[in-house]
Amino acid sequence: MPEKILSTEYSEEMQQSYINYSMSVITARAVPDIRDGLKPVQRRVLYAMNTLGLNADKPHKKSARIVGDAMGKYHPHGDSSIYEALVVLAQDFKKGMALVDGHGNFGSIEGDGAAAMRYTEARLRKFTQEVYLKDLDKDVVDFVPNYDETDKEPAVLPVRVPNFLINGSEGIAVGMTTSTPPHNLGEVIDAFDLYIGNPDVTVRELMEKMPGPDFPTGGVVINRSELEEIYETGKGKIKIRGKAEFLPAKKRGEKDRIEITEIPYTMLGANIGKFLQDVADLAEKKVFPDISDISNQSGKQGIRIVIELKSGADGEKILSGLYKKTKLEDTFGVNMLAISGGRPEIMTLKRIFEESLKFQLEINQRKFRKLLEKESERKEIQEGLIRAVDVIDLIIEIIRGSKKPEQVKNCLVNGVTDDIRFKSEESKRQAAELHFTEIQAQAILDLRLQKLVGLEILALEKEHRETLEKIRTYKRLLSSETEMKAHIREELRAIREAYSLERRTEITDEEEGVFEEQPYVPVPVTFTMNKFGYVKVYDLSVYEKNKDAIREEAKTLFSCMSDSRVVIFTDTGMMHQLRLRDVPVSKPKDKGTPIDVLTNYDSSKEEALKIDCFEAIKDKLLLFVTKNAMIKQVEASEFDSVKKSIASTKLTDDDRLIYVGEIFGTETVLVSDKKTALRFRNEEISTLKKTSVGVRGMKLADGDHISAVYDYDPSARYVVKIGSKRVNLADLKLKKRDAKPEVIS
């Protein structure tokens, strides 16, 4: 087949392809349909379970089987996303109404993951069968081809309640997100019922029935006054906090404590562990010095986090501070985005109810049209059987006189009596006048003789009367929208009666948590680091009592204030720093904290050349020397930065720093590996920026490198060892910087 090359503008093709991709993600992955409130993967999981017959009264089936069916038939996007959707549908701490009955480890509120799908089992809940999947067999929704067109799947499930509100939704699409909080089933139904009765009802009136979200984790919504605007616009922020109480000690041996019994919805999962760590860190940093311990005592009875306080602590003040400083008070961002008519739309509360009512009217119209069709067919059969009973002898005569069933049917429908033997001409004349319908004739042929018993005939007549009543009911509903709405409201009330739960989240108006942090008062401390790179910070009193032991252990030791920063200059040209406030105060027997944990310094890849308190050196000049004899002075104030790591100098590819130090003397001596040395005045060293390479300090022979640097005052005797020879630096000739060095023989 010959190739066909199409020319197109690259930018236009990319733009159109990205738009197509983004719309696919929005409509087919991340955003729920407003009609059933489900994302495609959730809908397909529930439908796959329904086709497997996993009803609430049937045994659970392996989750792997459910995932396999959903992936193979409807959702070819990988088993992990399908199983994750199945797990979430079973977690009653995430959903307002869980839709799947899970058997096995389906995770926990504290963030424990579910067991592998081969270990867990699941089935549908009765609520799901009755409210989400009922009437699928009555042509109430459209069925569309699956991904490979070998099967059919529902375009939407016939959900009988506004599930978009009840179970909420969260999803990230391309360029947009959806985030809807869960609500109470009973309250949503009450508000929807009110809307059906009066579509002109105000949001405020609806909120009398449905005052706000109802999170599965309970907690407290503290900005009730702002909820009306959120429901009117579809966007906003809900402020939620956990339910906590300060409990003073009642007897000896007890401690004052704060007990948290409900958490904000946003703290679900791993965020509980983070909250515990945050509180511990705040206590350690003396933000909450009166917190002595925190423990998670949650179990089957529910959430119970206990924060123990020191004697005399102001519990209410600490609780207010926890609301301010931790996720115990948080914000849930609302963006009620859903797919409506194939397009994403931000939904207001009334718009949600408008679309829900439109959907309920549609599925009920389709349902009752289908039922009317079936009952009309049943009526036709019943009328034919009732009429047949009156002429049963003639029908039996026709059957006995015929050679094959087609003759009987032709006679019953069209009155054709040819080739049929009758007992008399009168019978033949009566047979020619029967004229049953095709359906009636087939029902007569299928009739069993036991149906001719008197009681059976009475039952048939009773059934016929019931059928006529159903037909009248269905026609009444189909002909009047008012009647249909009344029926929908009646069904909604029945669902509320059967499945509604008590509200879990309290809704109120409260001030946000307030905490006036006490001004930090720095105190003198001693910083040490041992040869293994473990850092400790001692209070001055502790250091004075254990001075000898601490000095013996320390490789680096200096005093500074507790709010200081420690800077580490390394041979790679980097400067790392840490705040002493981030280092826990130690006792002599403590192991300490690895410097690698506190900073970006990696002791396996770089060597520390200078470790000092920045506040002690910030007004001084620092001398930088590399192994290739590049040298410069830099004002230490240049290294004043909030970053954990910065470049302290610029190095060429084959160069490394060998010396960083303060300048105390008036002269510098450079010594090389090949036992050459150069003495020059410090005033000849250029003061440059930290980003510069520097200037050459001494001429080096090929393969030679600087091995030692001495900053000294010539008025003092300074003897060093160069090779095997002891040299007084003052005896070296004073030369210019970058001069030829003196050979030490």
253: CATH: 3.30.1360.40
Q: Which pLDDT belongs to residue 175?
A: 65
**Alpha-carbon torsion 373, 379, 382, 388, what sign?**
negative
Asked whether residue 646 carries a pLDDT value surpassing 90, the answer given is yes
Q: Which pLDDT belongs to residue 507?
A: 94
Asked whether residue 26 carries a pLDDT value surpassing 70, the answer given is no
Residue 457 lies in a domain: yes
Backbone φ and ψ for 72, nearest 5 degrees, come out as: -70, -35
Is there a single domain that holds both residue 548 and residue 680? Answer: yes
Q: Which of 647, 654, 737, 728 is nearest to 690 (CA)?
A: 647
Asked whether residue 243 carries a pLDDT value surpassing 90, the answer given is yes
Average pLDDT of span 476-487? 94
Q: Which pLDDT belongs to residue 4?
A: 76
Asked whether residue 13 carries a pLDDT value surpassing 90, the answer given is no
Q: How confident is the model at residue 413 (pLDDT cuts 50, 70, 90)?
A: confident
Percentage with pLDDT > 90 across the chain: 56
544 class by beta-carbon count within 10 Å (0-12 exposed, 13-18 middle, 19+ buried): exposed
Q: What residues make up the domain containing 611? A: 524-743
Is there a single domain that holds both residue 412 and residue 481? Answer: yes
The owner of tokens 């906590």 is 244
Is there a single domain that holds both residue 322 and residue 382? Answer: no
Query: Which of 277, 303, 327 lies at the terminal end of a domain, its last residue?
Result: 327
Residue 588 lies in a domain: yes
Residue 556 lies in a domain: yes
| CATH code (residue 101) | 3.90.199.10
Whole-number CA gyration radius for the chain: 42
Q: Is residue 337 a contact partner of residue 178, using CB atoms and an 8 Å limit?
A: yes
Confirm whether 10 is a catalytic residue.
Answer: no
- Report which DSSP code applies to 637: G
Long-range interactions of 461-465: CB distance < 8 A, separation 24+: 461/386, 463/382, 464/379, 464/382, 464/383, 464/386
Is there a single domain that holds both residue 293 and residue 405? Answer: no
Q: How confident is the model at residue 582 (pLDDT cuts 50, 70, 90)?
A: confident
The rounded distance, in Å, linking the Cα atoms of 34 and 32 is 6
How many C-beta neighbours within 10 Å does residue 587 have? 10
Q: Which pLDDT belongs to residue 518?
A: 62
Query: Which of 125, 158, 191 lies at the terminal end of a domain, its last residue?
Result: 158
Is there a single domain that holds both residue 490 and residue 534? Answer: no
Is there a single domain that holds both residue 599 and residue 646? Answer: yes
Helix axes 185-197, 349-390, angle to 10 degrees: 80
> Distance from first CA to last CA of the chain, Å, rounded?
86
Asked whether residue 522 carries a pLDDT value surpassing 70, the answer given is yes
Q: Choose between 745 and 718: higher pLDDT.
A: 718
Strand partners for 171: 178
Q: How confident is the model at residue 491 (pLDDT cuts 50, 70, 90)?
A: very high
| CATH code (residue 430) | 1.10.268.10
Is there a single domain that holds both residue 583 and residue 687? Answer: yes
Q: Which pLDDT belongs to residue 398?
A: 81
Residue 225 lies in a domain: no
Is there a single domain that holds both residue 548 and residue 660? Answer: yes
The rounded distance, in Å, linking the Cα atoms of 369 and 364 is 8
Average pLDDT of span 728-744? 89
Q: How confident is the model at residue 630 (pLDDT cuts 50, 70, 90)?
A: very high
Q: How confident is the model at residue 425 (pLDDT cuts 50, 70, 90)?
A: confident
Query: Which of 158, 185, 202 lies at the terminal end of a domain, its last residue?
Result: 158
Q: Is residue 612 a contact partner of residue 576, using CB atoms and an 8 Å limit?
A: no
Structure-token pair, residue 446? 């299928």
Q: How confident is the model at residue 585 (pLDDT cuts 50, 70, 90)?
A: confident
CA atoms within 13 A on the CB side of 542: 18
Average pLDDT of span 680-709? 92
- Pick the catalytic residue from 18, 21, 119, 520: 119
Q: Which of 321, 318, 328, 324 is nearest to 291 (CA)?
A: 318
Is there a single domain that holds both residue 475 and residue 529? Answer: no
The 10s digit of each residue's pLDDT in 335-354 is 999 999 888 899 999 999 99
Q: Which pLDDT belongs to residue 22?
A: 57
Q: Choose between 274 and 9: higher pLDDT.
A: 274
Calculate the alpha carbon distances from 134 to 46, 129, 163, 306 in Å: 12, 6, 15, 46
Those residues whose C-beta lies under 8 Å from the C-beta of residue 71, and which sit 6 or more positions away, are 77, 78, 79, 82
Asked whether residue 117 carries a pLDDT value surpassing 90, the answer given is yes
Q: How confident is the model at residue 176 (pLDDT cuts 50, 70, 90)?
A: confident
Residue 252 lies in a domain: yes
Cα 175 to the center of its chain, rounded Å: 17
The 10s digit of each residue's pLDDT in 363-379 is 999 999 999 999 999 89
Average pLDDT of span 235-246? 93
Q: Which pLDDT belongs to residue 598?
A: 87
Residue 611 lies in a domain: yes
Q: How confident is the model at residue 494 (pLDDT cuts 50, 70, 90)?
A: very high
Phi-psi region of 738 (alpha: psi -120 to 50; beta: other; left: phi over 0): left
Is there a single domain that holds both residue 153 and residue 255? Answer: no
| CATH code (residue 679) | 2.120.10.90
**Reported pTM:** 0.72
Residue 219 lies in a domain: no
Calculate the alpha carbon distances from 559 to 255, 528, 539, 553, 582 in Å: 37, 9, 10, 16, 16
Domain count, the chain: 4
Residue 340 lies in a domain: no
Q: Choose between 26 and 153: higher pLDDT.
A: 153
The rounded distance, in Å, linking the Cα atoms of 533 and 530 is 5
- Mean pLDDT (the chain) is 89
Is there a single domain that holds both residue 489 and residue 534? Answer: no
Question: Edge-to-edge, what's the strand order for the sheet holding 608-613?
Answer: 608-613, 565-570, 574-579, 645-647
Q: How confident is the model at residue 453 (pLDDT cuts 50, 70, 90)?
A: low
Average pLDDT of span 494-508? 94
Asked whether residue 452 carries a pLDDT value surpassing 70, the answer given is no
Q: Which pLDDT belongs to residue 448?
A: 74
Is there a single domain that holds both residue 294 and residue 384? Answer: no
Q: Which pLDDT belongs to residue 681?
A: 92
